Structure 1
Amino acid sequence: MGLLYVQIIMWFLYTVSSRINPYPDITDEKFINDCVRFHNDNRSSVNPPASNMLYMTWDEGLAVTARAWARHCVFRYNIYENDVKRLHPVFTPVGENLWVRSLPRAFNVKLAIRSWVDEGKYYDYETDVCQEGKMCGNYKQVVWATSYKVGCAVQKCPNGVKAISFKAEAIFVCNYATAGNYYGEKPYQEGKACSACKDANDQCQNKLCHNQMRDRLKSYYWMPDWDTALVPKDPSLTTEDPFLATGDNALTMCIASSISVMPLRPLPLFLTFVTAFREYLISL
């Protein structure tokens, strides 16, 4: 009976938590695998081929920051990007790609990342120039050779995403380390796959430079102090953004900036569980 009571409470917490954000959490294994796989698939298939492209793996710190910024529900670069240690306890700077969608359909990681990769058709590798009037920064960040860590998050925005000209119900954010998409620099070196891997311990995996030590998963037990789940929203984010985004039903943005992780559920849910569990112990 006692075990059943605890299971009911846990189910309740999960249900309420899911209603807060029905999209995959940053701890969701499929979500993580999809984010990493779709990035690496596109990194290994660049044209012209890359000789120094690093294998990309998940970073929970970057994902925590992506989630914290996504909770602001604003189509705007992270305003804390220049504040050292407020974006990530290790990496400075980090890169950032944003994506929003207006259509009320199930979220699809591949679709979001594909929108960034599709910018590649406007980018000329030889001249390192983007077609006039087009955006290529998201593409360059996805295929930036020295970016080897990624952390992403998707957030439902019941009141819409601010700073865009259409109604969007969700925002998807990915952060990268080390940062890429620097002006005047090509995203990678052209050549035979893995022929220019820097580390002697690198191994070629799917045309990418993979290193077991560099690519291992890390836990930082850290969270940004500006996460809206922990502190009041920054009032500056409720005002009209001077760089209003326009478009039809999907938009993307990209920056090179700085940021790290740890999944949190709202404090009230935790307190609810503590209270229920205490009552259960008393009843024994």
Structure 2
Amino acid sequence: GYQSGLPAAANMRALTWDDELATVAQRWADQCTDGHDKERSVSRFHVGQNVALVWTYDFEDDLHDEPDWDSQIYAWYNEATEFHFKSASISPFRFSKKLGHFTQLVWADTYKIGCGYAYYRQSVRGLTKIYVCNYGPGGNIIGGAMYEQSPVPTCRPGLVPATSTYSGLCDKDPYYVGDDENEDLEDTFGSSATHVVAQNPYPTSYQTFLLNSPAVHTV
């Protein structure tokens, strides 16, 4: 509810770390390749994925081999501002390649995350970092809903605040008994909506610009 121009949510699940998702993400990062892992889903649910590459053409610039997760996750989230996400796309959800990282980050029913990272030398790009985050259950479901809208951040019936610090982030209420239309929030893969995983968020023309520009870049 604190993103300018977007309504608050009534069912935003809190994200918690998941070792299995992290293992799968690290396996993909270790391939040192472009694109997304098409074999990333696990038995519990369909898995969404965000991938980013950061590189420099200066082979003498070591680019600092440690990951900068804060900056990378902020870059994914900042797509909302950079590419002007509109609240009309929340429900029913309208997918946009330019915004796919952001919309996965804030997909309400996603409550597990695991990430991996690798640093390597690529023959064309030079020194490269790859960031991979897997999300479960995966979001970006065309025709679904990013989240349930609310006047203020809250947790609808069937959910409870996950932490005292962030009362608008929710978890399942183990004591709730009622007609909860999302009773099994883990089973979003059974939805009749279309699942789409964001590939590259930038159009081809922007990709060409990135590949030809002699600076440090992110994709």
Class of the TM-score when normalised by the shorter of the 2 chains: 0.5 to 0.7
User: Aligned pair count?
Assistant: 165
> Percent identity at matched positions?
25
Assess, with a 3 A threshold, how the Cα gap between structure 1 residues 209 and 171 changes in structure 2: closer, same or farther: same
Map 1:78-227 → 2, pairs under 5 A: 78-81=37-40, 87-88=41-42, 90-103=43-56, 104-105=63-64, 106-121=66-81, 122=83, 123-128=85-90, 129=94, 135-159=98-122, 166-191=125-150, 192-199=152-159, 202-205=160-163, 206=166, 207-211=168-172
Assess, with a 3 A threshold, how the Cα gap between structure 1 residues 102 and 61 changes in structure 2: closer, same or farther: same
Cα distance in structure 2, aligned partners of 1:113 and 1:153: 13
Map 1:70-85 → 2, pairs under 5 A: 70-81=29-40
How far is 1:148 from its partner?
Answer: 0.1
User: Do 2:158 and 2:173's aligned partners in 1 also have CA atoms closer than 8 Å?
Assistant: no
Cα distance in structure 2, aligned partners of 1:153 and 1:74: 13
Cα distance in structure 2, aligned partners of 1:198 and 1:67: 34
Cα distance in structure 1, aligned partners of 2:107 and 2:47: 12
Q: Which amino acid aligns with 1:51?
A: A
User: Do 1:63 and 1:174's aligned partners in 2 also have CA atoms closer than 8 Å?
Assistant: yes
Cα distance in structure 2, aligned partners of 1:67 and 1:212: 32
SS where residue 112 of structure 1 aligns?
A: helix
Aligned residue in 2 for 1:51:
10
Structure showing greater Rg? 1
Assess, with a 3 A threshold, how the Cα gap between structure 1 residues 119 and 212 changes in structure 2: closer, same or farther: same
List alignment gaps of at least 5 residues for structure 1.
1-43, 82-86, 214-242, 252-284
How far is 1:109 from its partner?
Answer: 0.6
How far is 1:195 from its partner?
Answer: 3.5
List alignment gaps of at least 5 residues for structure 2.
57-62, 175-203
How far is 1:204 from its partner?
Answer: 4.9
Cα distance in structure 2, aligned partners of 1:67 and 1:55: 22
TM-score, normalised to structure 1's length? 0.52
Cα distance in structure 2, aligned partners of 1:74 and 1:102: 13
Larger proportion of strand: 2
Larger proportion of helix: 1
Cα distance in structure 1, aligned partners of 2:44 and 2:51: 19
TM-score, normalised to structure 2's length? 0.66
